[in-house]
Structures are given as C-alpha cells and as structure tokens.
Structure 1
C-alpha cells in the first residue's frame, strides 16, 4: 500500500513546477511528472519552450507542489511539496519509445488527457512536430513535505524521502 503522499503524487494530474529565473524570481508551470522507481521524478519540456531547462542549468534548485486534486479520484485531498535538484539533459529525444521511462510518462499523460492523443497521430505530428522533440528533466528530491488536508496554515509533516518512492 502506497503512502498518502505517494498516492497524491501518482494520482494528481499536475503539479506546480517552480524554477528560478535569471533575475532570481520564481517561474512556475503546470507539469505532469512521473515518479520513477529510484525516487527521482521525470518531466520534460519541448525544445520550442525550453525556459525550464535554461533556468535549471543556471540554478538546479526546483520545487514541485502537488496541490490540486481535481480529477484524481482521491477522496482525501492533501498536498505534497517536493524540493530538490534538477538536471536538464542536453540531448534531444525525438522518439518517446526509445526511453522506457519517457514512454511510461507519455502513457500516463494520454490516459489523463485523452484528447491530446490527436497530437500523436500522423496529422498532429505534422502540425506540431517540434513538440515531440523533448528535453528530459530529472528531479532528485532533497525535502518532502505533506499537508494531509491542504490547509497551508498548519505546519506540514516532513516526510522521510524513502516514503516518496514508487512501490513496484
């Protein structure tokens, strides 16, 4: 049985992913990361929208806040904050099938957003081919905080990072 924090990570459709911009201000995007078996997270960015990668290369400190339960199917909606260090790979992946972890992330995305499957069809790929040229981003957690009720006025519970791992 997965911990409540892992259930949130695995079932919330998105999280708020924050990097640090060149001027030191936070920049936040909605992303759908995948928790890997080794406890790291995988997310991607398109080469057409590489700002996340640029920011990570300047400052690897990132945060991921899983706070929005809409569509998750969870009856007890908490929140999880992951703070960690990210690496944005230099290589460009053009075929998701060549990377098993990326293929698994893609399957998760299509299950959660079935309308997006059009963009994987031949016409969709012809219209927006650059979207499929992906930079992989790996996040290694350094701190994990849990709010069982999403009441951010209360002190969070600090999680043992061993709790924030996918159980296979």
Structure 2
C-alpha cells in the first residue's frame, strides 16, 4: 500500500495543490512537487506568481491531491491526498542549481516536460527571467490518504506518515 502511494507521488506529473485564500476559500493550482528524504515535499513558485506564498504565510494548511495519472506509466492508478502545513521561504532563489533539492526538482520537471527546456536557454531566461526567481515552499505532511482505484466514493486508506517518505 505505501509503496503504491510512493509510486503515485513519484510518477504523477502534477498534483492539485490547494491553499486557503484570504477570504477562506480554497485556491488550487497544478504543481509538480518533489518528495524529499526527510518526508517533506518541496515545490516552488515564481516571484511573478506569488499567490501560493501569500496564502501560505496567512494560513499554512495545504493539501496536495495526486489524482491524475496521465503520462505516469502506472498500470493501476490510484490517488493520494497529503494534508499538511506549508512554509514559504522568505528568500528568493535565482539559481536553481544552488540548492540541491531545488536542482533535483528542476531535473524532474525537465524530464516530465522536455518542451520547457526552451525556457532554460539564455534566450528563454532573458525573456522570462522572473520565472526562475523562485520562492521555495516546503510541506510537512500531517495526514496521508490513499485510494487504490481513484474511486473517491470509497473510504480511503490512511497511511502512516513514516510510510510516506523516501527511504535512501
């Protein structure tokens, strides 16, 4: 069960990342997070689109739903919901290679979205420089739920948080 959940987290291209807006309503974006060795998740946002960071600084409660298997290669796709607390760094990272965890996330993104490599060329970076100025977001899971079949009408299985971590 836990290994199936880790496969989903590692192989689904995106998850639905939900924060709480100022008015209390949910705001959801597609993101490609990376599960870190310590069990936290890393994602980032551009300084040009900082709403995720603003929301997290007001209310750290977030959710990440891994539900869309397109392109993942998983034969029997399920779904994983991570509920947790997030922090948005105060610093801005302008060189993704300067942070090993962020470099690993960037490599994952380039593998999943090879067409995006254009934006990493000198021309792409010059045209869309703000995209590469990132605010790092770390999510500490508080609860993990797993649906083996993506049938959300069925009761999910609750995973022990120590099972939802990378074993290095």
| Matched residue, 2:92 | 92
**RMSD of equivalent CA atoms:** 0.6
| Matched residue, 2:25 | 25
Q: CA deviation at 1:61?
A: 0.1
1:60 aligns with 2:60: yes
| Matched residue, 1:107 | 107
Q: CA deviation at 1:166?
A: 1.2
| Matched residue, 1:34 | 34
Structure 1 Cα separation of the partners of residues 18 and 130 of structure 2: 23
What is the TM-score when the length of structure 1 is the normalising length?
A: 0.98
| Matched residue, 1:9 | 9
Structure 2 Cα separation of the partners of residues 145 and 97 of structure 1: 33
| Matched residue, 1:127 | 127
Structure 1 Cα separation of the partners of residues 47 and 159 of structure 2: 34
| Matched residue, 2:46 | 46
3-state SS, counterpart of residue 104 of structure 2: helix
Q: CA deviation at 1:167?
A: 2.2
The runs of 4+ residues in structure 1 deviating greater than 2 Å are: none
3-state SS, counterpart of residue 101 of structure 2: helix
| Matched residue, 2:155 | 155
Q: CA deviation at 1:21?
A: 0.1
1:164 aligns with 2:164: yes
Q: CA deviation at 1:3?
A: 0.6
Counting matched residue pairs gives 167
| Unmatched tracts of structure 2, length 5 or more | none
Structure 1 Cα separation of the partners of residues 72 and 166 of structure 2: 17
